[in-house]
């Protein structure tokens, strides 16, 4: 019997990617789709790549519209999820692609988001230590941010193995879909094509405390994070360059061994063969995360590169993967590690 899934915020990029993946999921039947300013419009013009849903019309985002489903995905602006979730009741699986329930520390939340903390839900990054257990059978999932996904997958094996000093330096490049579909001048094609630019420099990006939370948990001590996001001239993809001072005795071999061990059974996270480096093209549209590690002896640092699709593994794919776990389905169901390239 099919799992009925609703998507709130179906006209945005996260919503569109959720629908793309749910259409390919053998156990899911797509139910209600909602929007705000686009309510009443057919999906044809809003998501022209989703032909099988072209005739679907968006309803307003209300608890009534979202009732009667087994799973409700929320792809809403920050701060709107708590009220909707509460009305849906605790028997429906609610999967929030927004930030509202990601952080454990209320002070962090208030500092970075400027509103009262709504709470903390099981965190939808199954690869982190202990995460799968927390997701099994849960009715509430907080899907990680796209950058924290890329960065946490890159660094948790080394921190969990005690190989790195607790000061990580991260520079990540993201495709423009990470900035959403609301039209703003700096996101125009004319502005972004041919251009790289940073934003949120100096510790201000909201994904920073989420990275600190994940890496600190893996390390068993407080990890500081210097995070610089940059906007790259591509629609999708995150390439994260992560490094930290290697602890005494760490070698290229011991570094690599830690990743091989930590990732041995992971279906979606792959340490590439030596000499091959991740690219965002290779994970375009796929739920895979590609990793490669290097030990720079001269600089005394370990460098880990990860590539994900910000909309797939970084958002909608991670959400579906976590849904599978919560519902007791095979974790890989409906998901793929095959990219669309070139």
Residues annotated as catalytic (active site), given as ranges = 146
Q: Is 276 in the site for its own copies (CB under 8 A)?
A: yes
Instruction: Give exposure, 58-89, as e/b (b: 16+ Cβ within 10 Å).
Output: bbebeeebbeebbbbbbbbeeebbbebbeebe
Cα separation of 132 and 19, whole Å? 24
In this chain, which of 41, 241, 247, 331 binds its own copies, going by CB under 8 A? 241
Among 282, 308, 325, 327, binds its own copies (CB under 8 A): 282
Residue from 162, 196, 220, 260 in contact with its own copies (CB under 8 A):
196
Kindly state whether residue 132 participates in binding its own copies, applying the rule CB under 8 A. no
278, 290 Cβ separation under 8 angstroms: yes
Triad 128, 131, 135: Cα angle to 5°: 150
In the bound complex, what is the minimum distance in angstroms from residue 95's beta carbon to its own copies?
21
341 binds its own copies (CB under 8 A): yes
CB-based burial of residue 41 (10 Å sphere; 0-12 exposed, 13-18 middle, 19+ buried)?
Answer: middle
Asked if residue 307 binds its own copies (CB under 8 A), the reply is: yes
The reply to whether 137 sits near its own copies by the rule CB under 8 A is: no
Check: CB of residue 211 under 8 Å from CB of residue 147.
yes
* 190 lies in the site for its own copies, by CB under 8 A: yes
Taking CB under 8 A as the binding criterion, the range among 63-71, 83-91, 133-141, 171-179 that sits at the site for its own copies is 171-179
Nearest Cα to Cα of residue 170 among 302, 339, 308, 337: 302
- Counting contacts by CB under 8 A, is residue 258 touching its own copies? no
Q: Of 32, 149, 177, 322, which lies in the binding site for its own copies, with binding defined by CB under 8 A?
A: 177
> Closest by alpha carbon to 289, among 268, 305, 317?
268
Query: Counting contacts by CB under 8 A, is residue 291 touching its own copies?
Result: no
Find where tokens 């972004």 sit.
Answer: 192
**Closest separation between CB of residue 299 and its own copies, Å?**
4
Query: Which range in 69-77, 135-143, 179-187, 317-325 contacts its own copies by CB under 8 A?
Result: 179-187
SS3 assignment, position 45: helix
Interface pick for its own copies out of 230, 247, 331, 332 (rule CB under 8 A): 230
Of residues 94, 284, 319, 327, which one binds its own copies by CB under 8 A? Answer: 284
Binders of its own copies among residues 94 to 123 (CB under 8 A) are none
How far is 164 from 258, CA to CA, in rounded Å?
Answer: 12
Q: Which is nearer to its own copies, 2 or 299 (CB)?
A: 299
Please report how close the Cβ of residue 21 comes to its own copies at its closest, in angstroms: 10
Q: Which residues contact 173 (CB under 8 A, 6 or more apart)?
A: 196, 229, 230, 231, 232, 237, 238, 239
Element (H, E) at 23: helix 13-23
Sheet of 3-8: strands edge to edge?
59-60, 28-35, 3-8, 71-74, 93-96, 140-142
Q: Which part of the chain contacts its own copies (CB under 8 A), choosing from 82-90, 92-100, 134-142, 268-276?
A: 268-276
Structure tokens at 159: 């921190």
CB 301 within 8 Å of CB 244? yes
| 193 sits near its own copies (criterion: CB under 8 A) | yes
Is the Cβ of residue 87 or residue 111 nearer to its own copies in the bound state? 111
| Residues 2-41, mask of contacts with its own copies (x by CB under 8 A) | -----------x--x---x--xx-----------------
Asked if 61 is part of the footprint of its own copies (rule: CB under 8 A), the reply reads no
């Amino acid at each position: 019997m099919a799992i009925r899934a609703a998507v709130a915020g179906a006209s945005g990029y996260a919503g569109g990617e959720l629908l793309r993946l749910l259409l390919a999921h053998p156990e899911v039947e797509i139910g209600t789709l909602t929007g705000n300013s686009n309510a009443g419009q057919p999906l044809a013009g809003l998501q022209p790549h989703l032909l099988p849903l072209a005739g679907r019309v968006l309803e307003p985002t209300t608890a009534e519209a979202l009732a009667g489903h087994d799973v409700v995905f929320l792809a809403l602006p920050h701060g709107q999820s708590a009220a909707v979730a509460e009305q849906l009741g605790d028997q429906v699986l609610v999967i929030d692609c927004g930030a509202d329930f990601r952080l454990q520390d209320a002070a962090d939340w208030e500092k970075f988001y400027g509103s009262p903390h709504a709470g903390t839900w099981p965190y939808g990054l199954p690869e982190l230590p202990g995460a799968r257990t927390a997701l099994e059978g849960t009715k509430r999932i907080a899907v990680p941010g796209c950058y924290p996904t890329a960065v946490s997958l890159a660094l948790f094996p080394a921190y969990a193995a005690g190989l790195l000093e607790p000061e990580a330096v991260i520079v990540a490049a993201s495709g423009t879909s990470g900035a959403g579909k609301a039209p703003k001048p700096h996101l125009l094609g004319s502005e972004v094509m041919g251009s790289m630019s940073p934003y949120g420099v100096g510790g201000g990006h909201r994904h920073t405390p989420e990275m600190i939370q994940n890496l600190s948990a893996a390390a068993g001590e407080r990890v500081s994070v210097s995070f610089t996001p940059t906007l790259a001239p591509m629609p999708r993809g995150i390439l994260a360059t992560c490094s930290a001072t290697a602890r005494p005795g760490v070698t290229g071999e011991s570094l690599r061994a830690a990743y091989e061990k930590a990732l041995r059974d992971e279906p979606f996270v792959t340490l590439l063969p030596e000499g091959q480096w991740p690219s965002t093209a290779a994970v375009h549209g796929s739920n895979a995360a590609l990793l490669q590690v290097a030990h720079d002896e001269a600089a005394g640092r370990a460098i880990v590169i990860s590539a994900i699709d910000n909309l797939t593994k970084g958002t909608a794919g991670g959400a579906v993967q976590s849904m599978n776990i919560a519902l007791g389905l095979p974790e890989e169901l409906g998901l793929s590690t095959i990219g669309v390239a070139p």
